[in-house]
Amino acid sequence: MWSPDRRTLLAACGALALAGCGFTPAYGPQGGGQKLLGQIAFADPDSPDAYLYIRRIEERLGRAAPGAPYRLDTSLKTETSGHGSLADGNTTRIRVIGTATFTLRDAVTNEALTTGNTSSFTGYSTTGSTAATQAAERDAEERLMLMLADRVIDRLLLVAADLPQ
């Protein structure tokens, strides 16, 4: 005779809970994410950070088709601070904090449909060679832009179902 184990029971309860709360997958047939796929245009990137940020959004939501109904305006800001130091005063760890302030606009009317900001941070070590430190810095900047882009996408997906067609 079959008897459910604990994992099966938890999975079934989880599925029932999600079904009861009105959960809809963002990219599913009724999900708001479908409205955003290939529908958001950007200004040309004006910095390496902006390029990485836009590239990540296009990876997840697709490149905008000509005449896309939405435009995403974003202001990116980063700042660094030293953390950790040696007895001689040399910094051993750098923290990079980034903020993305964004506005999703109707591409035709320029009306702001949603606005917001998000921030994140990452860090890197400066204890290696000069080349290793420079590589670590570039990697940290890229990680930060990916995190910011992912957070902005998450925020857009939350309001996507309410956007006008």
- State the average pLDDT over residues 138-145: 97
Domains of the chain: total = 1
68-98, pLDDT tens digit by residue? 999 999 999 999 998 877 777 788 899 999 9
* 106 within 8 A of 156, measured Cβ to Cβ: no
pTM for this one? 0.80
Sign of the alpha-carbon dihedral angle for 156, 162, 164, 165: positive
CATH number at residue 45: 3.30.160.150
Is 20 a domain residue? no
Backbone angles phi, psi at 96, to 5 degrees: -115, 120
Structural domain including 64 reads: 31-162
The pLDDT, as a whole number, for residue 128 is 84
Is 55 a domain residue? yes
104-119, pLDDT tens digit by residue? 999 999 999 999 999 9
The pLDDT, as a whole number, for residue 100 is 98
2-60, pLDDT tens digit by residue? 556 777 766 766 665 555 555 556 655 556 678 899 999 999 999 999 999 999 999 99
pLDDT exceeds cutoff 80 at 121: yes
Is 26 a domain residue? no
* 76 within 8 A of 48, measured Cβ to Cβ: no
Is 85 a domain residue? yes
The pLDDT, as a whole number, for residue 71 is 96
Is 9 a domain residue? no
- Please report, for residues 9, 28, 44, the alpha-carbon distance to residue 131 in angstroms, rounded to integers and kept in the order given: 53, 45, 30
Is 19 a domain residue? no
Is 130 a domain residue? yes
- State the average pLDDT over residues 143-150: 98
Is 121 a domain residue? yes
- Please report, for residues 14, 56, 63, the alpha-carbon distance to residue 4 in angstroms, rounded to integers and kept in the order given: 15, 42, 46
- Please report, for residues 53, 66, 132, 165, the alpha-carbon distance to residue 106 in angstroms, rounded to integers and kept in the order given: 20, 14, 44, 10
